[in-house]
Amino acid sequence: MSILGSCTDLIPNLVWIVPIAGGALSVLGARFGGAVRNAIAVGSGLVAALLATSLFFISDFSNYTLTGKILDDYTICGTQATWIQALNLKAGVLVDPLTAVLAVTVSWVSFLILFYSLGYMKGERNLTRYYFLMTFFIGNMLLLVMSDNFLQLFLGWEGVGYCSYALIGFWHSDESRYWVGTLGEKTAGVPESYSPSQAGLKAFIMTRAGDVAFLAGILIIFAYSGTFNFMQLSVDLGAKSNWATNLMSVGLFVPAAFLIFGGAIGKSAQFPLHEWLPDAMAGPTSVSALIHAATMVNAGVFLVGTVGPLFVQAANSLNIVYPFFATVAAIGAFTALLAASQAMVLDELKKVLAYSTVSQIGYMMLGLGVAGLSTKGNFSFGFTAGFFHLMSQALFKAALFMCAGWLIHVTGSKYMSEMGGLGRSMKITFYTMLVVALSLSGIFPLSGFWSKESILSAALQAGGISDIFYIIGIVAALMTAFYSMRMIGLIFTGDKSSNVKALEEKGGHIHEAPPTMWVPYALLAIATVALGIIAPIFFQQRLGSLFSAYLRNFGIPSPYSFSILSDIVPLSIGLAVAIVGVLIGYLAYVRRSINPKTVVASGPLTLGAYRFFHHRWYINAFYYKVFVYPVVSGANWLYRNFEEKVIDPINIGAPEFGGDASDLLRKIQTGIEEEYVFAFAAGIVMLIILLAIFAHL
């Protein structure tokens, strides 16, 4: 094997190994000082990003085939490593257009967030633990993306889940300043504020619910296929009798698909397992940026994008998997509307961005869902749209969270109403946040416009039930544009809030972020502008062609063709809706010619809608009253009536009983050898007699 061959075989593994190794080395580097630790952690993120980018240079995606050349399973030195021999399972990574695109997006955005952490987390305690968890998080996400089999993917999936739990609860001292939500606020008697520890536990439990479903789904497939490997599952479908036909014969094919989608619902915070993500804002803002923009929430989208084409190939008919794709699209559309409506009325900056993320992930699910519902068989259009929006959202949402981190730090408040008028003192942050907020709104020519409109166009082209999803998506887009401009207006325009004035009177100075913080989010703003410019010129067509070639390997002939003229109607409608939403937000929160409070109080319908949205559609309160409080009450009842009355007396009496038993046994131990031999012989005789009796019976 040549040196070049060895290197190209090794690189895909290094993409995920380097961040994990960097996390371990950063712990050792901490012994030599914080600067060494930080350099190792951030440096490992940069190396991983460069290695991920190199995948496009060592792989000939223009001639992509599932079994072609360098695009087979990668492992160290070009051979798969034996993992679980009893199951004939080998560990490896898979490099294809989907994994390469995701690896590049995840690694570069993650690196910028690590770099941002140098300024944002400066002076915090427990930074060794922080950087270890961050790099371990990134490494597991890249492992998840690049795994060539379900079981290895699941390990990365769980690694990401563990890190999210630990990082959300990073400030486990649970001081009130770290809580998410407003202290004392309640919905139907359920508190709406949570400590970092509770928020981390909530994320852990809700995502585990989806993970259990995911694990059950892949185990069902394994039981009928004998493999977890994606390529092997695809190749086996060429046989007349295969795992898919066997699953269909017993009615388990669609249930297995839904179970796997359950994992995606939990990880990507889609309805009904979406309530953990807004409360995850109790963690550091850099953690929020990592979870929301680059890693964890995108895992579910990637999973659907991985299994969706496989299910179509397996079923050999879209009619069989129609319920799966219809459910993905329906949940995505509903979640986009659900979360956007809540983002419109909240005052807590990071929670607005959190609900925005839930909504945007809903759009991605909508794109992947309508791909399988297309009456024209244009699967690649919705598929490409979903992942194009994932890339776009990673850019503008990471930048929004980074800006939010500095705004909260410099004002000492997490509420937008306690900011105001900051645009004059923080021009870099202001213009950066304005650009990325407009991209989130879907304003031409930014990347968010092209990616979101491509999803809506895919829904419109799909026809049938997708027309309903298109209408829901349009309404959610209007809400998105409104709350984006509302956010800009409340933070940067108008008069300074009493909180800001009080800070300045005490000698505080509202100033721009240090370069270690503003450079990363400024670069992301530039990237969203650049992506928006090149998208209609060549990028969107190139991405679509790449995914079209990828889908052909699953027997899905779906050529991709993007034309502004052919999509001019949906593009124009989408842009008009975005402009209307931005205009309403501008008039209400920038120009102040509309009084939002007056509008809300104008009638019972508007007031009721506001309260309904503000109280999270009462879903969170419902979950606590149905699932949490009964469990807590039951545990308390068991403690009072069983542990205190039964277990504790036993524990108290056990030492006395143990002492008496010990005294009795001590008398038997005489130390006389002949007595031991006699007792042993007597036991043998009794055993023989018992065996003879039972054998006779």
156 with 210, same domain: the answer is no
Query: Structure pTM?
Result: 0.89
- Residue 414, both tokens: 């997490």
Are 644 and 595 within one domain? no
Q: What is the mean pLDDT of residues 193-217?
A: 95
**Does residue 658 sit in the same domain as residue 610?**
no
| Phi, psi (rounded to 5 degrees) for 347 | -105, -20
Q: Give tens-digit pLDDT for 217-231.
A: 999 999 999 889 888
Percentage of the chain surpassing pLDDT 90? 69
* Phi/psi of residue 73, nearest 5 degrees: -65, 125
Statement to judge: residues 240 and 229 lie in one domain: yes
Instruction: Taking residues 501-522, report their average pLDDT.
Output: 91
For 449-472, what is the mean pLDDT? Answer: 93
How many H-runs (helices) and E-runs (strands) does the chain carry?
Answer: 28, 6
Task: Assess whether 567 and 636 both reside in one domain.
Answer: no
Instruction: Give mean pLDDT, residues 631-645.
Output: 87
Alpha helices in 121-195 (DSSP H): 127-146, 150-168
| Pair 303, 365: CB distance under 8 Å | no
pLDDT digits (tens, 9 = 90+) for 523-547: 999 999 999 999 999 999 999 999 9
How does the average pLDDT of the chain come out, rounded?
Answer: 88
**Surface-to-core class of residue 636, CB atoms within 10 Å of its CB (0-12 exposed, 13-18 middle, 19+ buried):** exposed
What is the C-alpha to C-alpha distance for residues 243 and 252, in angstroms, rounded to an integer?
Answer: 11
**156 and 286 in one domain?**
no
Q: Mean pLDDT over residues 79-83, rounded?
A: 69
Residues 122 and 211 in one domain: no
Element (H, E) at 688: helix 673-696
- Among residues 169, 190, 206, the one where a domain terminates is 169
What does the pLDDT average to over 565-583?
92
pLDDT at 417 over 60: yes
- For CA atoms 130, 135, 141, 143, the dihedral sign is negative
Reported as a single tens digit per residue, the pLDDT across 585-615 is 999 999 999 999 999 999 999 999 999 999 9
CA 628 to chain centre: 23
pLDDT at 675 > cutoff 90 = no
Is 70's pLDDT higher than 60? no
Among 115, 117, 167, smallest CA distance to 409 is for 117
Could you tell me which residue, 57 or 71, shows the higher pLDDT?
57
Distance (Å, rounded) from C-alpha 388 to C-alpha 543? 8
Give the total number of structural domains in the chain.
3
Check whether residue 138 and residue 284 sit in a common domain. Answer: no
Residues 541 and 396 reside in one and the same domain: yes
Is residue 407 domain-shared with residue 352, that is, in the same domain? yes
d(CA 629, CA 691): 55
| Domain match, 164 and 219 both | no
| Domain stops at, among 118, 153, 169 | 169
Is 493 found in the same domain as 601? Answer: yes
**Separation of alpha carbons 187 and 328, rounded Å:** 30
Q: Which of 149, 169, 189 is the last residue of a domain?
A: 169
- Its domain, for residue 297, covers 170-614
Helix (H, G, I), strand (E, B) or coil at 229: strand
> Quick one: tokens of 532?
């928006």
Question: Which tens digit of pLDDT belongs to each residue from 380-397?
Answer: 999 999 999 999 999 999
